[in-house]
Structure 1
Amino acid sequence: MCVVGGRTLPGCLWRSPDPVSCSSAPDDSMEPYTTERLSRLPGGYTALTQPFTALNIDFNNVQELEGLSSRPVQKVWLPVTQEGELDALAVWFQLHLDQDNSLSTGPEEDTCWEQAVYPVHATKDFALQVGDQLLVEVSCRDAYLRLCSVAVLRNGHEIRLDKPAQDLMESGANQNPEAQLCSALASLQTDHNKDICVLESAELALLNNEEYHGSFQTAVTKLFSQLNLANQSKKQDSSELLYVLDVSEGFSLLSLIAASQGHVKAYSSVEKNKQQEVLKRLARSNNIPEESLEFWLNGTEDDQGVLQRPSTEKLWSAIMLDCVETCGLIRQKLMEKASLARCLLEKGGRIFPERIIVHGLLVESDMLLLESAVQGQEPTLGFNIAPFINQFTVPVHVFLDFSTLQCKHLSETVELFVLDLMDTNANYTTRQVKVKATSAGRVTAIPFWYDIYLYEDISVSTLSRHSHWKQAAVVLQEPLEVKAGDWVCLTVNLHKSTISISAQPDNQPQPMD
């Protein structure tokens, strides 16, 4: 968040049960924060201090604006009011329009703005206690507001957080209650001379998805076992290499997991040199032979080039496709890539995942309506905005978290669509689904998510609490009134990997349950 967002920038300390942190930026020109709507954070959050003023800016003072970036670092001591681990600093602004009118973007306000979140990394396993005072340094540099927690004052003793390994150990020597804490923090020491590999927050969330990686390991182990048995039955060399290609977007561990199975030549599509180096280090530390992992550097947008076979005439045993975007949508050209990938598989080889099942349900959500189009026909402050703005509304909401979505469920979950990546004859482009309303209300949207079947019955859900994927929802242009027991006919279309859904009352009599 740029500091010009408001005049007064309050903030507070908070912790979340499931924080997704992003790497410390080695480049000062990079944004030092992420953004979240804290009121919709899965699992909620706990404020560890009262809100405090981080920075005041007078937009009518030209000299103050010109000297903003040269302001000395401001040190703020914050009394801790709630025990907990410090995960982040949260910031919002209060804009004073005049003497009498102001607006706030705080987490408790009904606002369209998110809050800025500054992740804190040095305090893992370090619990703040009621009565502590936390030192936060506030500065404005490179057009960004920057906040950093640097020390804790406990019982008159200062514990440094910017040098956790040394100073926290020393503080533990003087204070018996912190001995266990300091022992845990001893492992935080890092070598600052090493190159830093920066990952996006979405990539870190993916790496923390243990269910997905565990399921993939189970699936690829099962496939390789079946391929080796098939080779043995043909009296072929069971130690012959299996060739695997991972064309996932961004940083991915799938090629490394495949290579760990042995007798595998795994190719990764990771292109950044530092990320390649991370995979190489992980391979060495896990005793995976260096020759088992290679990088597929085509630098081309041509799918045929990306999916081409290795330099030998050996076909692929498995090809891993990145099928679902983090935002909750199917990746563009997925089916075209799957068609090409099928042609490059050896007999018995598979695409991961092999099929995707789309699920959804009927909901009533005023929030989705308010965020999709200008509501009502009355002019907004005298301007007739709705007829013009609503021509450009996008009917699909992305990056939703269904666990925190403000909505009323009007039906049970139903299967909307199936995408089969291994069998082109099993696919279709349109499907009609009959859904029975279980409650009365207005159907305003159809949220949807996926069960991703990696291999046979091994699957993961993008609705899982620990999933790095978010959900999406189609918002109806006209809400549909229903009573409990009514039937709604959904028409689901797939066009160029884009799912669209329309709804209408189904007046045909339905068979009895």
Structure 2
Amino acid sequence: MPNTSARPKHGRRTRRRRRTEDLARDQLVSSSLESAQQCLYSQDYGTAFAHYLLILNLAPVFKDFARESFRFTLFKWAEELDSVGRIQELFDCYEQALGIFPADEVIINSMGEQLFRMGFRDEAAGHFHKALKLRPDYPEARENFYRVANWLVERWHFLMLNDHGRNQKYQQAIQKAVQGGCSTVLDIGTGTGILGMCAKKAGAAEVFACELSKTMFELACEVVAANGMEGSIKILHKKSLELEVPTDIPHRVSLVVTETVDAGLFGEGIIESLIHAWHNLLLPPKSDENEFKEESTTGRVIPAGATVFCMAVECLEIRRHHRLCVTEVGGLSMEAAGGLRSPVSCSSEPDDSTEPYTTERLSRLPGGYTPLTQPFTALNIDFNNVHELEGLSSREVQEICLPVTEEGQLDALAVWFQLHLDEENSLSTGPQEDTCWEQAIYPFHSTVCFVLKPRDELIVEVSCRDAYLRLSSVAVLRDGHKIHLDGGAELKRSGNLVPNPEAELCSALACLQTNHSQSDDFCILECSEMALLNNQEYHQSFCGALNKLISQLKDKNNEQECATSMPVGSPLYVLDVSEGFSLISVIAARQGGVKAFSSVEKNKQQEVLRRLSRSNGISVQHLEFWLNHKEEEQGVLQRPSTEKLWSAIILDCVETCGLIRQKLMEKASLARCLLEEGGRIFPEKVVVYGMLVESDTLLLESAVQGREPTLGFNIAPFINQFTVPVHVFLDFSTLKCRRLSETLELFVLDLMDSNANYTSREVKVQATSAGRLTAVPFWYHIHLDQEISVSTLHQNSHWKQAAVVLQQPLEVLEGDWICLAVKLHESSISISACVANSPLQMD
């Protein structure tokens, strides 16, 4: 029997074979490394990536040496794969890279960016979060996580959890139902898990919950476990429509609780989910034939139902975001533009390409609003009546007459609801309520205003044809005549004859000025793009600045022509790379002697610009669409020809939400290299201004506040992980706050002079009032040149503002000097604050 414990003996031949293998491997690694470097030099990134994979798998010792080159190769190869649509290969490369560098925060963050661009927000957030755990001070991952957090955990979650009245009413309704015999509960769209935990706390024997969002599902699991209910609440990562008995839950439940309602009540699919629940997940409802049936053997829903209210309003802020309100923009007549409107359509005819409503908090709209009618009941719905739910979409269109109480332009129908949790508890989302819900806005889309007058009756159609609540203003009854708001009219007699019906009818129709030839020629623009078109100050400023620059360059060319006796001849080239729909290229082409290039991509929008050019006397040869000839985004700022540089490049610097656009300074750096002598970037400089404020509103919308648990549950530490320091889409003019300082300059971005820029600075400001410093709202002055600028704080601005919310409020006294440390990393502004006794202490 051989000695199994003896050490194996290696002969001379074995050692020689291993040395030979090592030598061959080293030679292969060496030659592959040389080949990888040659491929990088020739920009053959795919082959270089394959060589690096071979090298690092064969010789892990080279990881530290090759890490930077490997990252660079991966990112460049990923760009190429993305540009040709080879998305699966792109992600395969990232998986291979992470197999070699599983803890490389840069690669993990980059993969998150790719996932986010492809629409995989949950997965992207996981990568950003992992990168931050590996390196907490990694600014790119932190900014990416902040951006994606706004998508994953919408800000209303914080408002909702801070709404103590709402929370208590839901808890009371659930407790009453459970103690009344509803012992098995399903929480649809559980979010943080709070309603399911209320049911368990009330004594429910079994609680199930479902959540479609992966982020919220994982958050709910953490919250439930932290509150000692991990084994007693089953949470499913599924849409409720996919739940089955007994596959997902063992039997039908006696109570469904949900808050899957948006500002328009039905927008989150509550009708479809409740119909499915009644047919598949809930016990049958209590019937009239057996009203004494035990609660535990019947099913019910919380909320039990809702009442929807509506009123007509006049509101300039809504008007300018949904229809064209001006006849001239930057010197261009807009008559030939055709029908321009927002993507929100309140038509009673369903249209998959448009939303039936948008949302606004009426109490915070700049300029306010004027009710033109009294609120009326548009709809009642019983969530415990499955036949009523099923018949909702097939209901006949209801026509309601609203008496007009105030004279004013009809801009929209505003909608809110009262949610009946049970017989005793209800919640209102009305404009006067301090609630986490906004109101639904159904804009009026006529190209011209229609003025309602007292004694008019506004006819509104109400329908639910596609499980959305749809309301549309269709006609006005005025002194017995029916005036159709789509431009037609018919004469109807109600009671006595009108003395002069023809005159009254003609007067009403004159208000409409309908152009039938353009009635079907609609071009859809985003709400912010409509507001931009209506921003006359913005376009007049650009018109003036471009006119000055072009005149200067023409004078220079004339001098050159006189000095050399040679005709210059060629036009000036202007490139507009504004995001979305922009008229700046047409305004530039109108100057004469200019060839303008637009980055507008959509065919219908390009046709609008062509029509405007023709109708304003601009030759089609003077306007081109640059992206039509560019396959890659990197080509946007290339030269118009091999010999000619740009005379002007228009950059879009600020996002509508109030943030600096990403990669702005990189684009500016490239643009400066492509300008002819004397050419300019518009704008040339962006100055950031701010103010110290105390605002409980910003705190409530940014994080769960207070040290007390929410309804006794520990939720705040988990959801507050998704707190972001910058609050966006802010209307500073209507923000509830106390101003603690004067306006101050925070930061300057010089797009024409890179040497003038910095990444951080300290700002000293004196408090004008005592209070808690909770936030620093900020906005921008966009300097087109040294004399002309536009402000994002202007009342007609299409931009919103933003605010940095401090992690910890700072107590300040009147006269205190506050030191703000302001940092800008790419497009992200961060601010920290401290108190000093005097300005000298901060130097």
Would you call these one fold, judging by a TM-score over 0.5?
yes
Q: Write the letter of the residue equivalent to 1:48.
A: L
CA distance in 1, matches of 2:499, 2:571: 53
Would you say 1:58 and 2:379 are equivalent positions? no
CA distance in 2, matches of 1:237, 1:387: 72
1:380 Cα offset (Å): 0.4
Q: Secondary structure at the match of 1:144?
A: coil
CA distance in 2, matches of 1:97, 1:196: 42
Give the alignment partner of residue 216 of structure 1, picking from 542, 550, 558. 542
Contact 1:85 1:123 in 2 (8 A): no
CA distance in 2, matches of 1:33, 1:494: 36
Matches within 5 A, 1:68-87: 68-87=392-411
Q: What residue number does 2:557 align with?
A: 231
Q: What residue number does 1:99 align with?
A: 423
Higher relative contact order (CA 8 A, sep 6+): 1
Q: What residue number does 2:391 align with?
A: 67
CA 1:380–1:132 in 2, change beyond 3 Å: closer, same or farther? same
CA 1:200–1:2 in 2, change beyond 3 Å: closer, same or farther? farther
Contact 1:49 1:82 in 2 (8 A): yes
1:233 Cα offset (Å): 2.2
CA distance in 2, matches of 1:301, 1:500: 35
Q: Secondary structure at the match of 1:403?
A: helix
Give the alignment partner of residue 313 of structure 2, picking from 14, 23, 27. 14
CA distance in 2, matches of 1:444, 1:301: 46
CA distance in 1, matches of 2:639, 2:383: 60
Q: What residue number does 1:44 align with?
A: 368
1:405 Cα offset (Å): 0.7
Contact 1:37 1:114 in 2 (8 A): yes
Q: What residue number does 2:351 align with?
A: 28
Contact 1:8 1:57 in 2 (8 A): yes
Give the alignment partner of residue 182 of structure 1, picking from 509, 518, 524. 509
Residue-by-residue CA offset, 1:355-381 (whole Å, 9 max, x unaligned):
000000101111111111111111101
Q: What residue number does 1:206 align with?
A: 532
Q: What residue number does 2:607 align with?
A: 277
Residue-by-residue CA offset, 1:139-158 (whole Å, 9 max, x unaligned):
01222111111122222222
CA distance in 1, matches of 2:527, 2:731: 16
Q: Secondary structure at the match of 2:721?
A: helix
Q: What residue number does 2:412 align with?
A: 88
CA 1:301–1:426 in 2, change beyond 3 Å: closer, same or farther? farther
CA distance in 1, matches of 2:672, 2:631: 19
Matches within 5 A, 1:67-466: 67-122=391-446, 124-164=448-488, 167=490, 174=501, 176=503, 179-185=506-512, 187-191=513-517, 194-235=520-561, 237=567, 239-297=569-627, 302-466=632-796
CA distance in 2, matches of 1:395, 1:438: 24
Contact 1:303 1:337 in 2 (8 A): no
Contact 1:34 1:116 in 2 (8 A): yes
CA 1:21–1:32 in 2, change beyond 3 Å: closer, same or farther? farther
CA 1:206–1:301 in 2, change beyond 3 Å: closer, same or farther? farther
1:74 Cα offset (Å): 0.8
Q: Secondary structure at the match of 1:432?
A: strand
CA distance in 2, matches of 1:113, 1:162: 32
Matched length: 508
Q: Secondary structure at the match of 1:191?
A: helix
Q: Write the letter of the residue equivalent to 2:587.
A: I
1:180 Cα offset (Å): 4.3
CA 1:76–1:119 in 2, change beyond 3 Å: closer, same or farther? same
1:131 Cα offset (Å): 1.7
Q: What residue number does 2:219 align with?
A: none
Q: Secondary structure at the match of 2:652?
A: coil
CA distance in 1, matches of 2:445, 2:499: 19
Contact 1:172 1:182 in 2 (8 A): no
Q: What residue number does 2:107 align with?
A: none
Q: Secondary structure at the match of 1:149?
A: strand
Q: Secondary structure at the match of 1:277?
A: helix
1:7 Cα offset (Å): 2.0
CA distance in 2, matches of 1:123, 1:172: 31
Q: Write the letter of the residue equivalent to 2:387.
A: Q
Residue-by-residue CA offset, 1:302-347 (whole Å, 9 max, x unaligned):
5531111124421111111110011111000000111111111111
CA distance in 1, matches of 2:700, 2:452: 39
Contact 2:769 2:813 in 1 (8 A): yes
Q: Secondary structure at the match of 2:476?
A: strand
1:48 Cα offset (Å): 1.1
CA distance in 2, matches of 1:339, 1:384: 49
Q: Going by fraction, where is helix more abundant, 1 or 2?
A: 2
1:91 Cα offset (Å): 0.7
CA distance in 1, matches of 2:532, 2:687: 20
More moved, 474-483 vs 294-303: 294-303
CA distance in 1, matches of 2:533, 2:579: 13
Q: CA RMSD in A?
A: 2.2
CA distance in 1, matches of 2:630, 2:726: 30
Give the alignment partner of residue 482 of structure 1, picking from 770, 788, 812. 812
More moved, 258-267 vs 118-127: 118-127
CA distance in 2, matches of 1:188, 1:264: 35
Q: Write the letter of the residue equivalent to 2:306.
A: R
Q: Secondary structure at the match of 2:809?
A: strand
TM-score, normalising length: structure 1: 0.94
Q: What residue number does 1:472 align with?
A: 802
More moved, 238-247 vs 437-446: 238-247
CA distance in 2, matches of 1:104, 1:199: 32
CA distance in 1, matches of 2:739, 2:629: 46
CA distance in 2, matches of 1:284, 1:298: 20
TM-score, normalising length: structure 2: 0.58
Residue-by-residue CA offset, 1:397-431 (whole Å, 9 max, x unaligned):
11111110111110000100000001110000001
Contact 1:356 1:451 in 2 (8 A): yes
CA distance in 2, matches of 1:65, 1:362: 50
- Higher CA-based Rg: 2
Q: Write the letter of the residue equivalent to 1:217.
A: C
CA distance in 1, matches of 2:369, 2:568: 53
Q: Write the letter of the residue equivalent to 1:446.
A: V
Identity among equivalent pairs (%): 68
More moved, 199-208 vs 58-67: 58-67
1:231 Cα offset (Å): 1.6
